[in-house]
Structure 1
Amino acid sequence: MAPMTSTKVYDSDLMRKLRIQHAHLRPALKKVSTFLQANPYRSATLNIEELAAATGTSTAAVNRLANAIGFNGFTGLRFALMENLLAVVSSADVIEDRLKQSPDTGFHLDQQIDLSKHHLENVARMNDSQTFEDMARQLARSQNVFVVGLGNSFHIAQIAAAGLNPFCVGAHCVTLDGGMEGSAYRLSNITSNDALLAIALPAYTGETIRMAEFAQSRNACVMSITDCPASPLAELSHMSLFIPATHPVLPNSKVGLMAAVEALLAQLQLLKPTLSEAQPSLADWKPQRSSVRPTWPDLLRPSTPRKHDDSC
């Protein structure tokens, strides 16, 4: 696993042990570990039977995981989860429970706003400022930044690449038209002077992981924006930002993801003001008239006088 700067939520003794042991756990125990890392708040509210059911495992697997990471069975694990708890339950879980109890009420705008506020607060809780600043500096000093995002992260990757363009020598959204072959072709020239920014939410696409592995093999700096340390992208990344992605109705919420991308762009604006100052503003821009194509009225105007013109 690549070195990872710890974050507030994931800086507890429990979360560090899960992160270190995760890759070496047996499949059933890894399911429990993944759930605990992806749901640090909700996990503390579940008893052992509920945790086993939520992870598709057994109470024995939950106990074995607790022992494997140095806690005294589920009792010790539950105490550690309670210590790690920053909120009793997430807004997504509250809204989901209400929808289950009253499915006919529908999903309302005020619920989305409450959920968005909760996710934005958790973006700050789940990430420390040092990791955020280090990622922005790496983006600023990289010769080229390649952005990867597939599936439900595709459009965010395009926005990120477009936003990075004024601050980087080359900013490329790798995952455009052309499928995996086209994406691989665009990524083929990545070097140790470049960076890969990979964006992925559950369910993670295998192609994103493979492109991150390729960038790592070329000694490029791999960074990711994903949901939790159990994400397969986190293992491949030098630095990661974690964002809450749960939504009671949709497959994922992208509010936190968009906030993280926008914050990185704002930090880059402060880190590289000379780049933006070097670009002329629209008010000051004076095009060379000889190189400018005719405007639409010019194109529509006939080259010879018409009979009713004054010159005739």
Structure 2
Amino acid sequence: MATLPGNPSIAQRIAHAALSPSHRQIADYVLDHPLRVAAMPIDELAAATGVSVATANRFARALGFEGYAQFRAALVLGFEAALAPVEKLRSKLDQSAGVADVFTATLADMAGNIERTRQGLDPNECARAVDAILAARRIFIIGFGSSSWLGGLLLRNLELYCENVQLLANVEGSSYAARALHRLKPDDLVIAIAFPRYFSDTVLLARRVHEAGIGLLALTDGPNSPIASLSSIALYGNTDSQYYASSDASSLALIEALNSAVAHASGASVRAAQQLTEAVLPWFHGNHADGLRPVAERSAAKKTGPTTSSRKEPE
């Protein structure tokens, strides 16, 4: 293999290596599916490319590695954050566990995440977050992937106490969010939600908000999150998971806690709850059919009493 400067990537090694037809077959698969190969043990790669395990190992050596383990380690390095859940799941599946054990372990993880989130709360940051929300003229919520539905839950309760709250995740994607954020004013607030794995669109938009000098409240998993350093206020939720990139339970709990704190600080929680109940009462399951009748009809029924058809005929 030709000498390459610095620390060459796998693609650079492949481009400069003298490969046999079988090695080229593996190389093409690696270039087409780098993330998949990074998670594959040698026997799986051999089976996927139709070669022997020995050939797969010789391919790694042809690229300048001592063996397949070193080749895969170099490939994993470029996808470390993305592959962490895959490796963790692979490890868990190698362990024997019943269905009930998985239920128990998952719920225990959720409880632990929520407790660690509670213990890690910064009272000053919590107060600043609530004050910023109640003081904002407009609130824009950004978050994609699983964070989009978390944003929807945040919107659902904030709009009870804030005049203008907008969720910028819709079918048009991040381009819609970019256009909306272009119209930001100094008294607006942006709430960015990003948990592992972080969406690059959320990070890019958060950076634009930061550069514009607009208030940014980050709901994320810790100070090392790519949006934490861009925020003016940050609240952290612990999201460790044995089976996924992150657990949504503590993220949801953090959002519910934030909504509750806003409701309490607004001084309008009772009135808002009463108005909401009156608005949705006709749609509750149970004996609420009268609520679906027009107001005028209900008023007339109260004045005139039962209709003739409903009265009992004299005997």
Normalised by the shorter chain, which TM-score bucket? 0.5 to 0.7
The match for 1:229 is: 223
Q: Distance in 2 between matches of 1:153 and 1:280?
A: 29
The match for 1:171 is: 165
The match for 1:8 is: none
The match for 1:189 is: 183
Rate the CA distance shift 1:150–1:284 in 2: closer, same or farther, 3 A. closer
User: How far has the Cα of 1:280 moved from its partner?
Assistant: 6.2
Q: Distance in 2 between matches of 1:200 and 1:271?
A: 25
Rate the CA distance shift 1:162–1:284 in 2: closer, same or farther, 3 A. closer
3-state SS in 1 of match to 2:268:
helix
Contact 1:96/1:248 (CA < 8 Å) preserved in 2? Answer: no
Rate the CA distance shift 1:283–1:217 in 2: closer, same or farther, 3 A. closer
1:288-303 to 2 correspondence within 5 Å? none
3-state SS in 2 of match to 1:228:
coil
Contact 1:139/1:195 (CA < 8 Å) preserved in 2? Answer: yes
Superposed CA deviations along residues 207-240 of structure 1, whole A, max 9, x for unmatched, are 1011112222332111111111111101101111
Rate the CA distance shift 1:159–1:103 in 2: closer, same or farther, 3 A. same
1:269-308 to 2 correspondence within 5 Å? 269-274=263-268, 277=271, 281=275
Give the unaligned 5+ runs of structure 2. 1-72, 78-87, 280-291, 298-308, 310-315
Superposed CA deviations along residues 39-69 of structure 1, whole A, max 9, x for unmatched, are xxxxxxxxxxxxxx8xx77xxxxxxxxxxxx
Q: Distance in 1 between matches of 2:255 and 2:215?
A: 17
Scaled by the length of structure 1, the TM-score of the pair is 0.57
Contact 1:149/1:208 (CA < 8 Å) preserved in 2? Answer: yes
- Alignment length, in residue pairs? 205
Q: Distance in 2 between matches of 1:231 and 1:101?
A: 30
The match for 2:202 is: 208
Q: Distance in 1 between matches of 2:272 and 2:115?
A: 36
Superposed CA deviations along residues 182-228 of structure 1, whole A, max 9, x for unmatched, are 22223222211011110001121111011112222332111111111
Contact 1:122/1:244 (CA < 8 Å) preserved in 2? Answer: yes
User: How far has the Cα of 1:113 moved from its partner?
Assistant: 1.8
> Relative contact order (C-alpha < 8 Å, sep 6+): which is higher?
1
The match for 1:109 is: 103
Contact 2:89/2:244 (CA < 8 Å) preserved in 1? Answer: no
Scaled by the length of structure 2, the TM-score of the pair is 0.57
AA partner of residue 163 (structure 1): N
Q: Distance in 2 between matches of 1:283 and 1:101?
A: 49
Contact 1:166/1:276 (CA < 8 Å) preserved in 2? Answer: no
Q: Distance in 1 between matches of 2:141 and 2:119?
A: 25
Q: Distance in 2 between matches of 1:209 and 1:133?
A: 24
The match for 2:242 is: 248
Q: Distance in 2 between matches of 1:283 and 1:160?
A: 19
Rate the CA distance shift 1:105–1:272 in 2: closer, same or farther, 3 A. closer
Contact 1:191/1:219 (CA < 8 Å) preserved in 2? Answer: no
From 257, 264, 284, the counterpart of 2:258 = 264
Contact 2:160/2:272 (CA < 8 Å) preserved in 1? Answer: no
Contact 1:195/1:220 (CA < 8 Å) preserved in 2? Answer: yes
AA partner of residue 227 (structure 2): L
User: How far has the Cα of 1:126 moved from its partner?
Assistant: 2.2
Q: Distance in 2 between matches of 1:165 and 1:105?
A: 40
Q: Distance in 1 between matches of 2:228 and 2:91?
A: 30
User: How far has the Cα of 1:134 moved from its partner?
Assistant: 1.3
From 119, 124, 148, the counterpart of 1:154 = 148
AA partner of residue 94 (structure 2): K
AA partner of residue 170 (structure 2): L
Contact 1:135/1:223 (CA < 8 Å) preserved in 2? Answer: yes
